[in-house]
A and B are shown apart, each in its own frame.
Chain A
C-alpha cells in the first residue's frame, strides 16, 4: 500500500513536461469507461459478417457457460483489484477445487467435499491476505508464491494423474438448461446480484472503495484496512473455487491444465471493464462487459478455425492494450 501511494507521486513527477488539454483527458476517461461495450458491439457485428456460425445456438450455449465461469472468477478479482491488491493464485485455486471434489467423491458425500473445497479456498485467501497486510509482502509476490505452492500441492496430491469423473450435481448446476439458458449463467447472475448489492448498498462495499481510493485516510476514518483487504482476498479465493466447480461440471473431467489461463483472463476482464490497478475505481457492470468481450474474442478464434496460438496472442494483446489505456487514464486523472 505504501508503494502505491508513492507511485502516484512518481507518475506525476515523471512526465511533468506533458500538458494535456481537458478535452483530451475527458476523451481518454470516456474511452477507458466505454472501451468494453463499444468493442463488444464491433466484435458482434464483425462476427455476423465473417463468422455466421458464431450465432449457432450450440455455440451460444458454450459461450454462455464460458462467460459464466470467467464472470464469477472476475467478480472476485475485481474486488481484490478495487482494494489495490491482485490475486495471481486464482487459477491454481480453481483447479484445486475441481481436484478435491472429484477425488473425494469416492468415499464422501458430495456435500462434505464441497464444504471441504470451500474451506480450503477460504484458508488460502486468508493466508494471501495475511501475508499482504500483516507481513507487508507485495501482493504480486505473495500470490505468485501461493500459485506455485498450490500447483505443487495439487501435483503431489494427485500424483500428476488426470483422473476422475465429475459428480452429477456439478454437471446439473453447470450445463442443465433452465428454459433456454444454461444453469451456470443463473449462478453467475446470482453471484453478480449479491456482489453488486454489497458494493453499492452495504458498509463493507463502501469500505472496499474507500480502502482502494486512499488507504491512509480510510485508516484515519476508522476503517480496519487490513481486515477489509483480507476479506476481499478470502472472497476472491472462494469465488475462484466456485468457478472451478462450474468449469469442471462443464468439461466433465478434470485434467492438469484445467483453468490455467484464468489468472490472465480474470485480470484482463476486470481491467478492460474499467477497473484500475491503483484501486478504488471500477464496478461489476464494467467487469461483466470485459468478460463478455474476452470470451467473444476467444470463441471467435475457434469459430473462425484459427490455430490455438492466436488465442494466446489475443489474450496478451487485449491485456497489454487494456492496461496501457487504463494506466494512461489513471495517470491523466490523478494529475
Chain B
C-alpha cells in the first residue's frame, strides 16, 4: 500500500519536473508567445478594429514578407553569421523582374519563367555572399554589408521611379483568397512547417546548428563547414528573392523602396525569438513568434495612429532593451 502511494507521488513529481524542465528549456519561446498573447489580448480589448477577423487575417498576410526574410536570416544567424544584404536582394529581384515584365509588355505567358529567373538571381547573389565569406575568411557581417551597398547602387541604376507593367495575373499571388484567409497565408504556414522540419530533421539542418555551436567540433565530426555556410547564404538569398517577388505582387509596380529597413526588422525578429546571435542555439518557432510580434506591434501602432517618428523611437527602444537583457550563453558558462 505504502509503495503504491509513493509511486503515485513520484509520478506526479516527475510530471511536474518534466513540465518545469520543458519550460526552462524553451523559456524564450514560451516568453515570446506569452508576450504576443498579452499584447494581442490588450489590443483586442481596447480596439474594435483590431479584433475584427479581417484585421486578423490581414496581420497574417502582412507578416509574410518579414517572415520570408526572417527565415533566411534565422538560418544564417544559427551558423553564427549575419546577412545584411537580404533587403537589397529582395529589391534587386523585384526591380529587375518588374523591368523584364515591362520589356515583355506584361505578357502573362512570361510569369512563370520570370519567377524562376527572380529566384535564380537571389540564389546567385546568396552564393556569391557565401563563397566570398568562406574563401576569404572575412567577417560575414561586413561582406554582406558591402554587397548590400553594391546592390543599392545596382538598384539605383535599374530605376529610381516605380516601374509599371506587371501583368494582372501576377497580382493573384497576393490577392487570391479562400473565404477570408488569403491562399498565400496557408502556403506560408506550410513553408514555416517545412523549414521547421528542415532545421530539426535533416542532415543539413543539424549541420547548421553544429557549425553555429562550434565550427571546430563540427569539422571534427566530418561536417563540411564551408559547404554548410555556402548553403545557408544561398537559402537566405532564395527566401529574400521570394520576398521580393511577393512585394512585387503586393504593390503591382516595381517599387524602388522595396523592403526598406527589413534587414534590421528580420534581425530583431530573430533575436527576440530567442535565437542566439552567437549561433547554434534557438528555434525557428521562436522566429515565427518574433515575426508575429513585430507585425502585431506595427498593426497596433497604426490603429492607435502613433506618429511615425515615435514608432521608430519605440522600435529602437525595444531593440535596446532586448539587447541589454540579452546575455550570451558562452559568457554565462565560463563565468
Contact = CB atoms under 8 A, between A and B. Distances in A.
Q: Do A and B bind each other?
A: yes
Interface of A: 2-3, 6, 9-11, 13-15, 131, 135-138, 140-142, 144-146, 148-153, 155-156, 159-160, 264, 267-268, 271, 277, 307-317, 319-320, 323-328, 330-331
Interface in B304-335: 307-317, 319-320, 322-324, 326-328, 330-331, 334
Contacts of B278: 3, 138
Residue from A136, A138, A148, A271 having most chain B Cβ neighbours under 10 A: A148
A316 B149 contact: yes
B323 A327 contact: no
A316 B152 contact: yes
A102 B276 CA distance: 41
A140 B324 CA distance: 13
Given A2-B328, A149-B313, A324-B136, 13 more contacts: A3-B278, A6-B216, A145-B316, A148-B264, A152-B311, A153-B313, A156-B307, A277-B142, A309-B153, A319-B145, A320-B132, A320-B146, A328-B136
Contacts of A152: 309-317
B99 to A, nearest CB: 15
A319 B219 CA distance: 29
A323 B156 contact: no
Nearest to B148: A316
Interface of B: 80, 82, 132, 134, 136-139, 141-143, 145-157, 214-216, 219-220, 225-226, 264, 267, 271, 277-278, 307-317, 319-320, 322-324, 326-328, 330-331, 334
Contacts of B322: 145
Nearest to B312: A152
Given A156-B310, A316-B152, A320-B143, A135 B326 contact: yes
Given A2-B330, A264-B145, A320-B146, A327 B313 contact: no
A136 B316 contact: no
Contacts of B264: 144, 148
19 contacts: A6-B216, A10-B215, A10-B216, A13-B225, A14-B225, A131-B323, A141-B323, A146-B320, A148-B264, A152-B315, A156-B310, A264-B149, A317-B146, A319-B149, A320-B132, A320-B147, A323-B139, A327-B139, A331-B136
